[in-house]
Chain A
Amino acid sequence: MVATNKKGFGAALWDYLTTVDHKKIAIMYLIAGGFFFIIGGLEALAIRWQLVKPMNDFVSAGFYNELITMHGTTMIFLAAMPLIFAFMNAVVPLQIGARDVAFPFLNSLGFWLFLFGGIMLNVGWFTGGAADAGWTAYAPLSTTSLGEGVDYYVLGLQISGAGTLMGGINFLVTIVNMRAPGMTYMRMPLFTWTAFVASALILFAFPALTVGLFLMMFDRLFGSGFFDPAMGGNAVIWQHLFWIFGHPEVYILALPAFGIFSEIISTFAKKRLFGYTAMVFATVLIGFLGFMVWAHHMFTVGMGPAANSIFAVATMAIAVPTGIKIFNWLFTLWGGSIQINTPMLWALGFIPTFTLGGMTGVMVAAASADFQYHDTYFVVAHFHYVIVGGVVFALFAATHYWWPKMFGTVLDDKLGKITFWLFFTGFHLTFFIQHFLGLMGMPRRYWVYLEGQNLDLGNLISTIGAFLMGVGTIVLLINIIKTSVKNEKVSGDPWDARTLEWAIPSPPPFYNFKQLPLVRGLDPLWIEKTEGRKGMTPAEPLNDIHMPNNSFLPFVISLGLFIAGFGFIYQKHDLSWLIVLFIGMGITLGAMLVRSVKDDIGYHIHKEDLKKEAEE
């Protein structure tokens, strides 16, 4: 069934537009997320170029504000989250021995909502200005921002946020319901565990964002006053709503990153994860505490010493389970046989980097000290250490680690190492010095800094580092092109790995497992291999496999919302745009109706065909 190679471009495109296969959706997430990562990176380079010297005039103040806003928004919502989703889609069903996710249609819908939301956000660039109120969009700056930039932000995030919420629910149900026989909770690979907890966080965190965005949409488009003090509203409520979403968001990104590193470290140290049980509980605990600490983003808002102290201590508490994780990784390495290739290099680079990020996290958590750090480059340095040093490192690692599983080829190790060293050096050059810049009086989101304030050298070093990271990323792109052109196929288990996804061919057949595997413990494939078997013992006889049909409806539903978004935005200038709003909503609701009334029970792959395929 490797039909894609024989099809023409149109047919392949149609296949991707309608696919409900989690592995193809994973590839689409990877491409779209990678694309937005590059956009966000270019925005970052423009920011750093503006700050290469004092009082630079490379970009205007207004454009700079759009750059910082879109850099943050793009990197969090359109790059990091989708890339995490790419690997969750590619790997989680395989790791738990499932044939698919629980709701394949919903999975596809989630992707298209994210993509159309992401495009919507960026349309602002071409229609008179992107969002310019910061990625946090604090009221009243956001509610009073002129133009449509913030409207694009509100509607784009709302659409793509709905997609994320669906994705989260889908993974929760998948992990609860679709595990192979014997895959108990305490035998789940750590990446699946972290995907599970991250999905639970999405379930609770994203509704807060949804509510906040609705209120802001009403304020901006329909003249309500939820965040307008003059109309009896409250501007600070936005900050609470935003951070009740925004703080867990950090863990939605970071926990799967921890999962990725747990897999990689254990594979290339050739040891089972040290303290697996503790790792699982630490993951759950971090997820739980992640919800309790949102107000540490607001120490200077004027909440008073009691609230500040409570949130300070609660925040510091997160360091304990995170510390447990760091030491467990170190002791997984201890006594192992450590093989240092590209994915492992990223994992080894991650440990000290993330430790530094975690340490400054505790420092920032100390409320009275935060009065100095808050909204300065110290904080910029801190969260880049966590999000780049944790999440982006993990995404690079995962790209190299799971590339063979997704595409059947291995990325070049030499080029991979060059990418790592360029990016790693560039990263520390960029952000380490920013801790000092912050304490030396450089606030964040500054378009220019004055001459003669001793901030020049630090900013220059920082900019040089940023460009090194850019070069590292280009090397990765070259690597991907080179590998794709060479197209040297590898076996299903090129790393001598431990978990279920490596028990099937690379790339996996569209039905994943011909027969569901029998899981007899943690690292199931490793257990079978140590007992001399080549693959997994099946848990069931060969049977017909039920598969879902492809569908174009998810694309149509998302397209409808995308069109309606323009209607919402421009009706504030001209009511005739309401027509666009109704057309868009009509398309969406119509497509949903079709989905509801049309019976689509999927199809079966017959066991005879499976047998025949095996013989070929």
Chain B
Amino acid sequence: MKDWMGKIRTLSLFSFLVIILSACGKDNLTALVPKGYGAEQSFNVIIISILVMIVVFVVVMAIYVYVILKFRQRKGQEDQIPKQTEGNKTLEVVWTVIPILLLIIIAVPTIASTYDLADESQKEDSINVNVTGLQFWWNFEYANEEIQTSQELYIPVNERIYLNMMSSDVIHSFWVPSISGKMDVSPENENTMYIEAYEEGVYWGKCTEFCGDSHSLMDFKIVVVSQEEYDQWIDGMQNTDPEYTAETATAQEGQELFENSCISCHAIDASANHPVVGPNLADFSNRTKVSGISDFSKEEIVRWIVDPAEVKPGNGMLDAPYLQENSIGQEEAEKIADFLMELKATDEPVDSVQQFRENEANDN
């Protein structure tokens, strides 16, 4: 019996350790290792409330265990009738007042940080990005720089960025756990939040408001770069050429196919004048992922073009005429992929993106 109890204890201790060790998750996705201002603010409140709650739980469990061990009916006591106590005013006041005090400890920092995270006083002097959520991708328009891009939001490190967010269909929610808490993206009111990242790198973003078939695949990234890299990137994006001509022969064939089938929805230059129909493909060669979720490789691009329904069920591309007409097969898609992989804003590869692709390759 004793031995058995010991085993249980070791086992539960071990499983608890496993949980703790794995509890932090993937470091560019988890909210438990904050790498940005909003995430840090939320994390502080999380920690305060967990500490208070642990105290409460320990007290409750101590009484609970004591009571069950001490007052459990034993053999031969079946007919015993305990004293019928009515209550105890003092005790009841104690367990009313103490929780109120504990709640105040949580409420004060909660309110302070809630107001802090809604602060818009620096909006005018900061980078402003207009975010549009669509089924099932994200469009980012840099308001002052007059460029737009999709799926990947480039921001400079240690700089406050204001996001002005609206949806063009159903409600979505913008969440990059390592950088900041989430904010809904609604079709009628513009919601504003700001983000600030502490470290360069690529951070994983998720849609958290249930938005249809591919809700679980509506991923995006925040690419945090140095100020210098950011300026370079903006400059490159502003100079992406709508009249670009592909270099290799297959890419040129791909470009022709692209111009016949894809251009009505997808722009290849980053000018902000394009209506938001499909993702803007400028600087495509620097994408961390294909369609936000698949590894960046020619193979995955081809898979996406040939059968987008398999990759993201219910997405808007399924209405594209080429799919009804079956006009693009494996071979054509490969040529288009060659063309897309040539699209870039600058010749310098972005450090964070390179690093991210390497890490992803190692992880899988």
Asked whether, in the complex, the Cβ of A441 is within 8 Å of the Cβ of B106, the reply is no
Choose from B82, B111, B211 the contact partner of A271 (Cβ within 8 Å): B82
* A417-460 Cβ-contact flags toward B at 8 Å (1 or 0): 00000000000000001001001110111111111111101100
* Neighbouring B residues of A272 by C-beta, 8 Å: 84-86
Stretch at the interface among A204-212, A355-363, A406-414: A355-363
* Neighbouring A residues of B13 by C-beta, 8 Å: none
Choose from B209, B313, B364 the contact partner of A138 (Cβ within 8 Å): B209
Q: Is B297 an interface residue (CB 8 A)?
A: no
* Neighbouring A residues of B2 by C-beta, 8 Å: none
Q: Please measure, in the bound complex, the distance between the C-alpha atom of A235 and the C-alpha atom of B82, giving whole angstroms.
A: 58
Report A329 CB to chain B, min CB distance, Å. 9
- A-B pairs with the 10 shortest C-beta distances? A371-B181, A440-B25, A446-B216, A302-B191, A229-B188, A441-B29, A275-B87, A368-B113, A305-B118, A375-B208
* Neighbouring A residues of B56 by C-beta, 8 Å: 323, 355, 359
New contact pairs (11) apart from A134-B210, A316-B106, A330-B63, CB-CB < 8 Å: A138-B210, A140-B170, A236-B186, A312-B111, A360-B53, A362-B49, A368-B114, A371-B117, A372-B39, A439-B32, A453-B25
Asked whether, in the complex, the Cβ of B117 is within 8 Å of the Cβ of A368, the reply is yes
Within 8 A of A (CB), among B54-100: 56-57, 60-61, 63-64, 67-68, 71-73, 77-78, 80-88, 91-92, 95-96, 99-100
* Neighbouring A residues of B23 by C-beta, 8 Å: 436, 440
* Neighbouring A residues of B82 by C-beta, 8 Å: 269-271, 335-337
Asked whether, in the complex, the Cβ of A235 is within 8 Å of the Cβ of B206, the reply is no
* Neighbouring A residues of B113 by C-beta, 8 Å: 368
17 A-B pairs with C-beta separation under 8 A: A65-B213, A138-B170, A141-B211, A235-B186, A274-B88, A323-B96, A324-B95, A335-B82, A368-B114, A369-B45, A369-B46, A369-B110, A372-B43, A375-B182, A449-B216, A454-B29, A455-B25
Q: What is the size, in residues, of chain B's interface with A at 8 Å between Cβ atoms?
A: 97
* Chain B residue at minimum C-beta to C-beta distance from A321: B96
Interface centre among B80, B84, B113, B115 (most CB of A within 10 A): B84
Asked whether, in the complex, the Cβ of B24 is within 8 Å of the Cβ of A141, the reply is no
Within 8 A of A (CB), among B16-51: 18-19, 22-26, 29-32, 38-39, 41-43, 45-46, 49-50
* Chain B residue at minimum C-beta to C-beta distance from A230: B187
Q: Please measure, in the bound complex, the distance between the C-alpha atom of A235 and the C-alpha atom of B53, giving whole angstroms.
A: 36
Asked whether, in the complex, the Cβ of A372 is within 8 Å of the Cβ of B42, the reply is yes
Q: Would A368 and B103 be within 8 Å (CB), given that A276-B86, A446-B215 are in contact?
A: no
Report A594 CB to chain B, min CB distance, Å. 45
Choose from A141, A338, A356 the contact partner of B73 (Cβ within 8 Å): A338
* Neighbouring A residues of B231 by C-beta, 8 Å: none
Q: Please measure, in the bound complex, the distance between the C-alpha atom of A236 and the C-alpha atom of B187, giving whole angstroms.
A: 9
Report B138 CB to chain A, min CB distance, Å. 15
* Chain B residue at minimum C-beta to C-beta distance from A367: B114
Q: Is A62 an interface residue (CB 8 A)?
A: yes
Interface on B for A, CB 8 Å cutoff? Answer: 18-19, 22-26, 29-32, 38-39, 41-43, 45-46, 49-50, 53, 56-57, 60-61, 63-64, 67-68, 71-73, 77-78, 80-88, 91-92, 95-96, 99-100, 103, 106-107, 110-111, 113-118, 169-171, 173, 175, 177, 180-184, 186-189, 191-192, 204, 206-217, 219, 293, 313-314, 360, 363-364
Q: Please measure, in the bound complex, the distance between the C-alpha atom of A336 and the C-alpha atom of B66, giving whole angstroms.
A: 12
Asked whether, in the complex, the Cβ of A271 is within 8 Å of the Cβ of B84, the reply is yes
Q: Would A371 and B38 be within 8 Å (CB), given that A276-B87, A308-B114 are in contact?
A: yes
Q: Would A338 and B38 be within 8 Å (CB), given that A302-B189, A352-B61, A441-B206 are in contact?
A: no
Asked whether, in the complex, the Cβ of A302 is within 8 Å of the Cβ of B186, the reply is yes
Q: Please measure, in the bound complex, the distance between the C-alpha atom of A133 and the C-alpha atom of B215, giving whole angstroms.
A: 11
* Neighbouring A residues of B117 by C-beta, 8 Å: 305, 368, 371
Asked whether, in the complex, the Cβ of B118 is within 8 Å of the Cβ of A304, the reply is yes
Report A600 CB to chain B, min CB distance, Å. 46
Asked whether, in the complex, the Cβ of A62 is within 8 Å of the Cβ of B67, the reply is no
Q: Please measure, in the bound complex, the distance between the C-alpha atom of A578 and the C-alpha atom of B80, giving whole angstroms.
A: 69
Report A5 CB to chain B, min CB distance, Å. 34
Q: Please measure, in the bound complex, the distance between the C-alpha atom of A616 and the C-alpha atom of B65, giving whole angstroms.
A: 50
Choose from B26, B32, B215 the contact partner of A452 (Cβ within 8 Å): B26
Q: Would A330 and B204 be within 8 Å (CB), given that A276-B87, A336-B71 are in contact?
A: no
Q: Would A362 and B103 be within 8 Å (CB), given that A337-B77, A355-B60, A440-B29 are in contact?
A: yes
Q: Is A250 an interface residue (CB 8 A)?
A: no
* Neighbouring B residues of A441 by C-beta, 8 Å: 25-26, 29-31, 177, 204, 206
